A and B are shown apart, each in its own frame.
Chain A
Amino acid sequence: MARRPILGVFDSANSAADAGDGLRRAGIPETDVDFLTDTPYPEGAFGEREEPHRLYIFPFIGALLGLTSGILLTSMTQVAYPMVTGGKPILSIPPMAVVCYEGTMLGAILFTVLGIIFESRLPKLKAGLYDTRITEGYIGVLVNTEETQHGEVETAFGQAGAVDIKRE
């Protein structure tokens, strides 16, 4: 049986949370339910599941790559164009610190941004079921489940006071 999305639109956080409770009672798995809002509500406001992520790994990988690039860039340019100064080494370590530091930070930040996009599952190329009223303060409860369960979902939405129910 095909899985299809169904969206309930609610005008308050409380009714959206009630809809979440109703869906749980109806046996809809938490992983099939998404709450769409135009502002970050405190985590768990709708009784939704905790979202694990691995964003913290990204800056470390980026920092390592950035540091490596910084070391290579600064050491190779010094070797490629030697500044011969009496009693001083061609490859001088202290001045490499700044560029290496900036490279490390740049790498960390670039990878963090990539991590944010990747972990947020963006870009989403195919537009899913959505309602523009969500950015007007309404709350969308998006359920992606078997079509056979849509009746129970609609009942849960109706009991919680959905202002609209949309199907794909």
Chain B
Amino acid sequence: MQEGRVLSTREINRDLLRSILDTPRWFWPVVTVLGLILLVAAIAIGIMVNRGLGVTGLNRPVAWGFFITNFVFWIGISHAGVMLSAILRLAKAEWRRPATRAAEVLTLFSLMTAMIMPIVHTGRPWRILYWVFPYDFARGIWPNIRTPLVWDPSAILTYLTSSTLFVIIALVPDFAVLRDHTTGIAHRVYSVLAMGWEGNARQWKLQIVAGVLLSALILPVFVSVHSIVSWDFGMAAAVKSWHSTVFAPYFVVGAVHSGVSAVAFALILLRWCYGWQDYIRHEHIDALGRLLIVVATGWFYFLVMEILFGMYGREADELMVRQTQFTYWPYNFWFILFVITTYFIPVALWLSRAWRRNLWIMSIACISVNIGMWLERFLIIVPGLINKQLFTFVWADYRPSIFEYIIIGSTFALVTLLMLLFSRVFPLVPLYDVKEGDVLRTQVQIGRRTVPATFRED
């Protein structure tokens, strides 16, 4: 599990700080294009706020459409950070080292993007303050803590705060490296951020304990976040087909599936963009592929249970939703595409060691998972709403408008842009973690074979 060569500290600093100390030629053109996409989205949101939600395809009975689908999707992606960083850190998995920071940062930016979605969805974003902020604004109205729609922001804000602090704490030693490798204003900024870090034994001990302790504390939050997102549906009084007890674990495993796939793809992109072949190696992508087989199969089990138990009970609402998903055009097409892209294509590709080590094939598999997982959320939300429900006396299909397509598309540009800007000022691969891996590397002679090994401290 250690295929690369041992690198000197000087080489590690030079390579991993390249994205910060030198600007690649493609950087600003890509940032400009992404910025323009966001500008178009901002105009679309502006028009939507001005004219109202009528410009979207949202109407009775489908009040939740692309925006909420996208919200759940990005919350799902955000589960990559803790899955990789915390679980692998607690399990002392050696191959986690280059992947943790990118996963944590992807968590932050996808969470921020997810939070934008319900705000946009309200149509009158400022009113969200009345809804979730625990203050009455002199109107005598306090948030209703009995609804999952209030639990949701409390969980997401906890997760966002925790993940941000997790990233910042792990960045402190790297800030010190940047402080020592920069001059002028950059040096002053990194000096403030490094807080006087000098790397003594006490600081390192606390840093290691902090990694484990924060991982252990964030894990329960990570499980709670997507569980509570699933309760937005599972505890909604009006839509009976969403009343599924399996929703919370099903959502959590699905989130890990899409999130880890997204991290694998992000790592491949980083390797290509910054030439980090010595750090993000085939063995790391291979390990992620193997992990994903387990996660995908766990997720598939929950999917089958969800459908099987839903239909076995023969409840009218549940059967109507399944009928929509399996027989009505275009939902039947989306359903087949969803199952194939989320499970059968990627898992078939991941079963081969050679394919797991082929970065093009891994990229296709990871993108395939995320296309499927987006469709999964869409197929939970919209078919559940287009059928007759309690308090709803209209039947209507959902046709998303161009505004929704633009805003949804721009969220992918937003996350990419934020990741790129982050990589411009902070290292996306943790320097000290990679250096520690090299310090602890050794080789063991077993018979006539020399086997790579790692020293591990308990």
Would B221 and A96 count as touching, CB distance under 8 A?
no
Complex alpha-carbon distance, A3 and B271, angstroms: 49
Complex alpha-carbon distance, A42 and B155, angstroms: 36
Report if A108-B177 is in contact (Cβ < 8 Å); known contacts: A39-B436, A116-B169. no
Which chain A positions have C-beta within 8 A of B210?
Answer: 55, 112-113, 116
Report if A136-B10 is in contact (Cβ < 8 Å); known contacts: A43-B457, A117-B195. yes
Would B154 and A102 count as touching, CB distance under 8 A?
yes
Which chain B positions have C-beta within 8 A of A34?
Answer: 198, 200-202
B217 on the interface (CB 8 Å rule)?
Answer: yes
A86 on the interface (CB 8 Å rule)?
Answer: no
Q: Please name the residue on chain B nearest to A108 by beta carbon.
A: B217
A27 on the interface (CB 8 Å rule)?
Answer: no
How many pairs, one residue from A and one from B, have CB atoms within 8 Å of each other in the complex?
184
Complex alpha-carbon distance, A34 and B199, angstroms: 9
Q: Count contacts on A: residues with CB < 8 A to the other chain.
A: 60
Complex alpha-carbon distance, A126 and B196, angstroms: 8
Which residues between 75 and 90 of chain A lie within 8 Å of chain B, taking CB atoms?
A: 77-78, 80-81, 83
Which one of B142, B165, B176 lies within 8 Å of A81 (CB-CB)?
B142
Would B196 and A37 count as touching, CB distance under 8 A?
no
Cβ of A90 to closest chain B Cβ, rounded Å = 11
Complex alpha-carbon distance, A105 and B141, angstroms: 27
Q: What does the 1/0 interface line of A124-140 toward B look like (CB < 8 Å)?
A: 11111010101111001
Interface-central residue, A102, A103, A119, A127, by most chain B CB under 10 Å? A102
Q: Please name the residue on chain B nearest to A77 by beta carbon.
A: B142
B43 on the interface (CB 8 Å rule)?
Answer: no
Would A51 and B199 count as touching, CB distance under 8 A?
no
Which chain B positions have C-beta within 8 A of A56?
Answer: 213
Would B136 and A92 count as touching, CB distance under 8 A?
no
Complex alpha-carbon distance, A6 and B169, angstroms: 29
Which chain A positions have C-beta within 8 A of B180?
Answer: 132, 134-136
Q: Please name the residue on chain A nearest to B151 by beta carbon.
A: A98
Would A135 and B177 count as touching, CB distance under 8 A?
yes
B244 on the interface (CB 8 Å rule)?
Answer: no
Which chain A positions have C-beta within 8 A of B352?
Answer: none
Which one of B136, B162, B220, B224 lies within 8 Å of A80 (CB-CB)?
B136
Which chain B positions have C-beta within 8 A of A135?
Answer: 9, 13, 176-177, 180-181, 199
Report if A99-B208 is in contact (Cβ < 8 Å); known contacts: A39-B435, A43-B457, A135-B176. no
Complex alpha-carbon distance, A21 and B10, angstroms: 27
Which chain A positions have C-beta within 8 A of B200?
Answer: 34-36, 142
Complex alpha-carbon distance, A43 and B205, angstroms: 8
Which chain B positions have C-beta within 8 A of A96?
Answer: 145
Cβ of B180 to closest chain A Cβ, rounded Å = 4
Report if A42-B209 is in contact (Cβ < 8 Å); known contacts: A36-B200, A98-B154. no
Which one of B10, B196, B208 lies within 8 Å of A40 (CB-CB)?
B208
Q: Please name the residue on chain B nearest to A59 by beta carbon.
A: B217
Would A37 and B158 count as touching, CB distance under 8 A?
no
A120 on the interface (CB 8 Å rule)?
Answer: yes
Would B206 and A53 count as touching, CB distance under 8 A?
yes
Report if A41-B13 is in contact (Cβ < 8 Å); known contacts: A53-B209, A73-B134, A110-B165. no
Which chain A positions have C-beta within 8 A of B134?
Answer: 73, 77
B140 on the interface (CB 8 Å rule)?
Answer: yes
A95 on the interface (CB 8 Å rule)?
Answer: yes
Which chain A positions have C-beta within 8 A of B131?
Answer: none
B35 on the interface (CB 8 Å rule)?
Answer: no
Complex alpha-carbon distance, A47 and B439, angstroms: 17
Q: What does the 1/0 interface line of A49-86 toward B look like (CB < 8 Å)?
A: 00101011001000000000000011001101101000
Which one of A92, A125, A136 lies within 8 Å of B9 (CB-CB)?
A136
Q: Which B residues form the contact surface with A (CB < 8 A)? A: 8-10, 13, 134, 136, 140-148, 150-151, 154-155, 157-158, 161-162, 165, 169, 172-173, 176-177, 180-181, 195-210, 213-214, 217-218, 220-221, 224, 228, 431-432, 435-436, 439-440, 455, 457
Known: A37-B204, A96-B145, A112-B210. 12 other contacts (CB 8 A): A40-B207, A59-B213, A81-B141, A83-B144, A98-B148, A102-B221, A112-B214, A117-B195, A126-B196, A135-B180, A136-B9, A137-B435
13 A-B interface contacts by CB (under 8 A): A39-B432, A40-B208, A41-B439, A43-B457, A56-B213, A77-B145, A81-B136, A81-B141, A95-B151, A116-B209, A127-B196, A140-B198, A142-B200
